[in-house]
Amino acid sequence: GGFGTQDETFELLTLIQTGKSHLSPVVLLEAEGTDYWGPWEDFVRSTLLEQGMISPHDLSLFKRVPGIAEAEEEICGFYRFYHSQRYVADRLVLRLIAPPSDALVERLNDEFADILASGTIEAIEATPAEVESDDHVELPRLRLHFDRRNHGRLRQMVDVINALGTEEGTPATD
């Protein structure tokens, strides 16, 4: 709970925000009866956000939760429909637990066109590079020409993927 905790939290968020680390659920768990992360989040909002050091979307890179059950829900929810990511050439490939519906792909294109350097978000099968490296070739994918800047928005897109995946009856993973 001291300087090291703060240092590691900012380092992890910086790595995700700059794309040097893949998206992952960053959960700030409050110990029972405490408000350790509340003042930290107030600082992030009142100083970093208000002074333009981070974007409003960067606040999506973490979630503060009051207990273990909510932390578990956040972590499991992050991987409900989304599996993992990698770059193939200059395209970001998001691997999913189940195939995305046409309606989901259409919604993602409507809501997240702002994070595309060009083109559209499309459902694909494993690319030749992924097949060659045997990289989760069985999983369905989304491919996009991500601008490599808006990682907070990318996290918001993953949240939409996870929410809509469950609405469409996709089973949650254990």
- The tens digit of pLDDT for each residue in 66-105 reads 999 999 999 999 999 999 999 999 999 999 999 999 999 9
- The residue behind tokens 């905790």 is 5
Whole-number Å distance between alpha carbons of 87 and 94: 9
pLDDT of residue 166: 57
CA distance 134 to 73: 30
In the CATH hierarchy, which top-level class contains the domain 3-78? alpha beta
Q: Read off the pLDDT of residues 42-58 as tens digits, 9 standing for 90 and up.
A: 999 999 999 999 999 99
CB-neighbour burial class of residue 169 (10 A; exposed 0-12, middle 13-18, buried 19+):
exposed
Question: In this structure, are residues 154 and 137 in contact, taking their beta carbons and an 8 Å threshold?
Answer: no
Name residue 15's amino acid.
L
Please identify which residue in the block is written with the tokens 């770059």: 87
Rg (CA), the chain: 17
Report the b/e string of 135-144 with b at 16+ CB within 10 A.
beeebbbbbb
Residue labelled with tokens 């996709």: 170
Secondary structure element (H or E) that encloses residue 156, with its range: helix 151-167
* Local confidence band at 32 (pLDDT 50, 70, 90 cut-offs): confident
Q: Which residues pair with 86 in a beta bridge?
A: 93
Average pLDDT of the segment spanning 145-170: 88
pLDDT computed for residue 164 by the predictor: 86
Task: Flag whether pLDDT at 173 surpasses 50.
Answer: no
Q: What is the average per-residue pLDDT within 11-33? A: 96
| Sign of the torsion angle spanned by Cα atoms 122, 128, 129, 131 | positive
Q: What is the pLDDT of residues 116-151, one digit of tens each?
A: 999 999 999 999 999 999 999 999 999 999 999 999
What confidence category does residue 165 fall into, taking pLDDT thresholds of 50, 70 and 90? confident
Looking at the chain, the number of H-run helices and the number of E-run strands are 6, 6
| Distance between CA atoms of residues 142 and 122, nearest Å | 5
